[in-house]
Amino acid sequence: MGRFWGFIKDPLYGYIQITEAEKRVIDTYPFQRLRRIKQLSGSEFVYPAANHTRFEHSLGTMYLAGLLGESLPVELGEDEVQLLKFAALLHDVGHGPFSHVFDSYLTRYLNKTHEDMTATIIEETELGDVLSREGFDPKLVGKLALGNLGDPGKPYLDQVIVGAVDVDKMDFVSRDSYHTGAGYGYTDIFRLIYTMDVCNGELIVNATAIPTLETFLIARLESFKTIYFHKASRAAQIMLVKALELARSEVSDLNFKTAEEYMRLDDYTLWRELRCSEAARPVMEDLERRRLLKCAYEITLYTKDRLVTSIFANDAVRRRVEEEIADAASVDPGYITIDTPSLPSVPYSREAAEPMDIPISFKSADGSIEIRKVTELSRIIEVLRVYMNILRVYTKEEYRSKVKKASEEVLGTLPSETKIAY
């Protein structure tokens, strides 16, 4: 498929074969910029080796997309497989500095997401020119990169990129576990890939791979608990968000207007700008000395009730509660931060489906193929149908005990049984 250029050595998959067309896309500035954006910004304060970037994650996602596209028992032409690979390669090209940390800035001040920026960068920069010369419509690549291609005859194409068991998750769960050393992410993703099928246009998993699917979903949940939602990682991220807000009027690059201006921002350039900002400098100096905010109060609920996170997603409500805790603790409200990370449900398709309702195919007694929901066949996955609600209150270390007591007065304490995961 395409003229072979060479290999890129990857710690997870060995050698990733690259075509000349893929190399031309990889060598563009928008994609090379991903070398300077960490995959897990903030996690390096907990896991020292977690310094991998969006660059290698994107290469790995492309590799898995090509593998899955070629192994699916459907008629996919070379151009369609290449479209899948390009979409997977570029699915994260819109990420800002510090990865998901910057999403809050995009949403709050520009009413955009990194997905919006992905589509813009693919269509409006040199990436679009390179894709066009290779015979691919940048708009189609951008839509598929976000799982929004919407081909009525082939919805599985979107599901390869964005779904309950997509190539993005397969790579980041494995890769993040590898680089952090957390150890939860090992899953035989190749068995998942080689047992996937298509039925009525939907991506499905063969029943023989249910044990592997269980392992994958458990690994993802444990990774959220121990890596993505680690209290110290979140503390570093909260501090970066605070620095961004403080420096907004001083750092001109934060007021970008075009995709080209946006791409000037990466971890290196923005860290330097924040370090030079008079308002943000104290926060950055604390980060550089690992003087992180401390978690004074935490509750975790494993329930389908999303009330906790939905309430505190409202900025006004969160600020009022922060002020109430600050008043009870006799500290400045600026030293109180409520954080509500949550494990988001990822619908399997564009329908309002349960995230764990992954279609499974198996042979019935008469030899015919039947399709069932995985929760009907796996008790383990049925138990995993939870929504993880976490609420934390952060403050400076010297106020920790006072804020803990005040938070318990304002938010209450919970019996131990409410904190049990399974």
Q: Average the pLDDT over each of 25-39, 148-162, 178-192, 356-370 and give the range with the smallest value.
A: 356-370
Question: Is the pLDDT confidence value at 341 over 70?
Answer: yes
**Residue 260: how many CB atoms within 10 A of its CB?**
14
% of the chain surpassing 90 pLDDT: 72
Q: pLDDT tens digit string along 45-84?
A: 999 999 999 999 999 999 999 999 999 999 899 999 999 9
% of the chain surpassing 70 pLDDT: 90
The pLDDT assigned to 345 comes to 35
Residues 391/219, Cβ–Cβ less than 8 Å: no
Name the DSSP class of 79.
H
Question: Is the pLDDT confidence value at 344 over 90?
Answer: no
Reduced to 3 states (helix: H, G, I; strand: E, B; else coil), residue 237 is helix
Can you tell me the distance from the alpha carbon of 132 to that of 112, in angstroms, rounded to the nearest whole number?
26
The pLDDT assigned to 414 comes to 55
Can you tell me the distance from the alpha carbon of 152 to that of 155, in angstroms, rounded to the nearest whole number?
6
Question: Is the pLDDT confidence value at 12 over 60?
Answer: yes
Bridge partner list, 360: 205, 372
The pLDDT assigned to 300 comes to 80
Q: Average the pLDDT over each of 5-19, 305-319, 373-387 and give the range with the smallest value.
A: 305-319
The pLDDT assigned to 336 comes to 96
379 confidence band (pLDDT: 50, 70, 90) = confident
Question: Is the pLDDT confidence value at 4 over 80?
Answer: yes
Q: How far is CA 87 from the centre of its chain?
A: 16
Reduced to 3 states (helix: H, G, I; strand: E, B; else coil), residue 289 is coil
Residue 56 tokens read as 């290698």
Can you tell me the distance from the alpha carbon of 115 to that of 93, in angstroms, rounded to the nearest whole number?
9
**Choice between 411 and 421, residue whose per-residue pLDDT is larger:** 411
Phi, psi (degrees; rounded to nearest 5) at 101? -60, -40
What is the CATH class of 4-292? mainly alpha
Reduced to 3 states (helix: H, G, I; strand: E, B; else coil), residue 42 is coil
Q: pLDDT tens digit string along 237-253?
A: 999 999 999 999 999 99
Q: pLDDT tens digit string along 76-102?
A: 999 999 999 999 999 999 999 999 999
Sign of the dihedral defined by the CA atoms of residues 409, 411, 416, 417, in that order: positive
Strand 359-363 relative to strand 202-206, pairing: parallel
The pLDDT assigned to 220 comes to 87
The pLDDT assigned to 24 comes to 98
The pLDDT assigned to 191 comes to 95
Can you tell me the distance from the alpha carbon of 285 to that of 127, in angstroms, rounded to the nearest whole number?
37
Strand 369-373 relative to strand 337-339, pairing: unpaired
**Choice between 25 and 372, residue whose per-residue pLDDT is larger:** 25
The pLDDT assigned to 306 comes to 57
Q: Which residues contact 364 (CB under 8 A, 6 or more apart)?
A: 370
Q: Average the pLDDT over each of 279-283, 301-305, 328-332, 343-347 and give the range with the smallest value.
A: 343-347
304 confidence band (pLDDT: 50, 70, 90) = low
Domain limits of the chain?
4-292
C-alpha radius of gyration, the chain, whole number: 22
- pTM for the whole structure: 0.91
**Choice between 81 and 362, residue whose per-residue pLDDT is larger:** 81
